[in-house]
Amino acid sequence: MKYLHAFIGGFERYHYFVGAALLFLTTILFMGWAVQVSATDGYSAESTESTITGTTATITWTAPSDRVTRIGWVGIYDRNASDSQFTRWTYINSAANSGTVTFTNLPPGTYEARFYSGSGYDRQTTSPTFTIAGDDDTPDPDPNPNPDSGGTDDYALTLSASSISVGGNITVTFEAPTNSNRSADWIGLYKVGATNQQYEAWRYTGASASGALSFAVTTTGQYEFRYLKNNGYIVVAVSSPITVSGAVAQCAITNLDAITNYPPSNGPIVAFGDSLTAGVGATPSQDYVSQLSRLAEVPIINTGIPGDTTRTALARLENDVLSRNPSTVIVWLGGNDVLVQYYDRVVRGLESPTLINLINATLNRLGSSVTNSPVIPEDETFENLETIVRTIQADGAVVILVGFSGAPFDSDLESRFAAVASETGAIYVPNALSGVIGRPSLMSDIIHPNDAGYTIVTNRIYQRLLCVQ
């Protein structure tokens, strides 16, 4: 299958992962020493050594054989950090009742390990504190490098401008030592004063020693860029600040003459889609449609249905969308088509079964409409999507098509969404989940964002909705 891990396992900044036990008896091994972490519900705990020479931590976990396994993760934390302010984290493999995960390049400090069930912050246990002493011959990266020197150890960040307007793009040029390990380095956009976990957006450097990345900024304030190492939160360079002015956000589309039915007629705005439109994972009124309605100060009708495929959406198009005589329709569909394709291949033994618990948990949350859905070939997915867009346009409405890029959807899938938008004259929203999928602080499960994640999605769609207001 072309999308081997396109929907479930292709997280952008993290390795493939599988589910974990609900409660674990976890042991932390550091350079031959152990700190045992006990879970609740009758487990005991003991520690043998709490000072570690070196920077590598290996977490060894076990779970009772009668426990039902599901997704879980372990994080390394400063003692006083909140649950969302992890130093490092990784998912746990539930293929067996025991296993190990390793954290490398931990800076010196005093830490504790925490185990969480699920993809959120349902903490099950916390270890005794332990100290990373570091290697005597390994310099510790400066967590607050001097901006005047551009960073530390030849890492540097340079901005293309010192101020921009809301909705504009800022380009940051980065440099890193040629002899450094850059395979998982990334650059984050932050509000000045934010913690390293509170990024506004992020992108990998692509393992390059130098290059440039562009970011769009959608809210006012003082921002900065930070260069961070190895999928973690070790900062080795900080840019000079950039001021984002309060100019009114503008439409992100430059050629509106190419948009079918532009300018829009009078009528309501309708959001049409699956669980991401319905807002699975969000608290009340924090789904992207509700947030977008408040941001744009216009009512938006939400017709999202969890578990919807392009086939079932096409069948309900008349009743749920066209009958409302909309002026604009936001279409976000296709993810469940891919999920069902992958699930079918796992059931037929064509894919690794190690993700089956994770897949079943996701399908159960979406309901029987997904588990009972027939497999929809990829070509049919985009034929259905194009039919949906053209049918809405034939009724006189403008279509805003939401696409997916990066994990959990690969670049080929993104290009097909973009092609539908180009061929039909729909307004296109790229990268809707880029930088959201795969980050526990922004997700409620492996597919659905939480409130903060939906806020990022909202801002991306808002830049396109402005074009039809």
Q: Are 416 and 382 in contact (CB under 8 A)?
A: yes
Q: How far is the C-alpha of 117 from the C-alpha of 124, rounded, in Å? A: 7
Query: pLDDT (tens digit, 9 = 90+) per residue, 400-443?
Result: 999 986 555 555 688 899 999 999 999 999 888 887 876 777 77
Last residue of a domain, one of 103, 134, 165: 134
- The answer to whether position 58 is within a domain reads yes
- The answer to whether position 265 is within a domain reads yes
Same domain, 353 and 306: yes
- The answer to whether position 331 is within a domain reads yes
Sorting pLDDT into bands at 50, 70 and 90, what band is 262? very high
Task: Tell me the average pLDDT of the chain.
Answer: 75
Provide the percentage of residues in the chain whose pLDDT is more than 90.
26
Same domain, 71 and 183: no
Same domain, 210 and 355: no
- The answer to whether position 251 is within a domain reads no
Sorting pLDDT into bands at 50, 70 and 90, what band is 217? confident
The single-letter code of the amino acid at 175 is E
Query: pLDDT (tens digit, 9 = 90+) per residue, 321-371?
Result: 999 999 999 999 998 888 777 777 666 766 555 556 656 666 666 765 666
Run of H or E including 416:
helix 411-424
In the predicted model, is pLDDT for residue 285 greater than 80? yes
Same domain, 279 and 314: yes
- Distance linking the first and last C-alpha atoms of the chain: 41
Same domain, 118 and 66: yes
Sorting pLDDT into bands at 50, 70 and 90, what band is 381? very high
Amino acid 373: pLDDT: 73
Amino acid 352: pLDDT: 58
Q: Are 468 and 263 in contact (CB under 8 A)?
A: yes
Same domain, 446 and 320: yes
Q: Are 218 and 249 in contact (CB under 8 A)?
A: yes
Here the CATH number for the domain that contains residue 435 is: 3.40.50.1110
Same domain, 436 and 297: yes
Here the CATH number for the domain that contains residue 210 is: 2.60.40.2840
Mean pLDDT of 137-152: 39
Same domain, 341 and 193: no
Query: What are the backbone angles phi and psi of residue 240, rounded to the nearest 5°?
Result: -65, 160
Last residue of a domain, one of 245, 274, 309: 245
In the predicted model, is pLDDT for residue 201 greater than 50? yes
Amino acid 13: pLDDT: 34
Residues of the domain holding 162: 147-245
Amino acid 355: pLDDT: 56
Q: How far is the C-alpha of 186 from the C-alpha of 163, rounded, in Å? A: 23
CA-based radius of gyration for the chain: 23
Range of weakest confidence among 29-33, 83-87, 174-178, 203-207: 29-33
Q: Which residue would you say has higher pLDDT here, 383 or 73?
A: 383
Nearest alpha carbon to residue 188 among 153, 252, 237: 237
Structure tokens at 161: 């401008």
Amino acid 9: pLDDT: 36
State which of 31-35, 437-441, 453-457 shows the largest mean pLDDT: 453-457
Structure tokens at 141: 């990266």
Last residue of a domain, one of 245, 278, 304: 245
Query: pLDDT (tens digit, 9 = 90+) per residue, 316-335?
Result: 999 999 999 999 999 999 98
Query: pLDDT (tens digit, 9 = 90+) per residue, 47-78?
Result: 244 666 777 777 766 655 555 445 567 777 77
Range of weakest confidence among 14-23, 193-202, 278-287, 437-446: 14-23
Ranges of beta strands (E only) in 295-422 are 300-302, 328-332, 398-402
Same domain, 230 and 261: no
Per DSSP bridges, beta strands 300-302 and 269-273 are parallel
Same domain, 298 and 436: yes
How many angstroms separate the Cα of 168 from the Cα of each of 17, 158, 385?
36, 17, 30
Same domain, 183 and 121: no
How many angstroms separate the Cα of 83 from the Cα of each of 98, 126, 349?
24, 11, 38
Structure tokens at 68: 């039902």
Mean pLDDT of 136-152: 39
- The answer to whether position 15 is within a domain reads no
Same domain, 151 and 76: no
Mean pLDDT of 89-94: 67
Structural domain tally of the chain?
3
Q: How far is CA 300 from the centre of its chain?
A: 25
- The answer to whether position 140 is within a domain reads no
- The answer to whether position 284 is within a domain reads yes
Query: What are the backbone angles phi and psi of residue 227, rounded to the nearest 5°?
Result: -95, 125
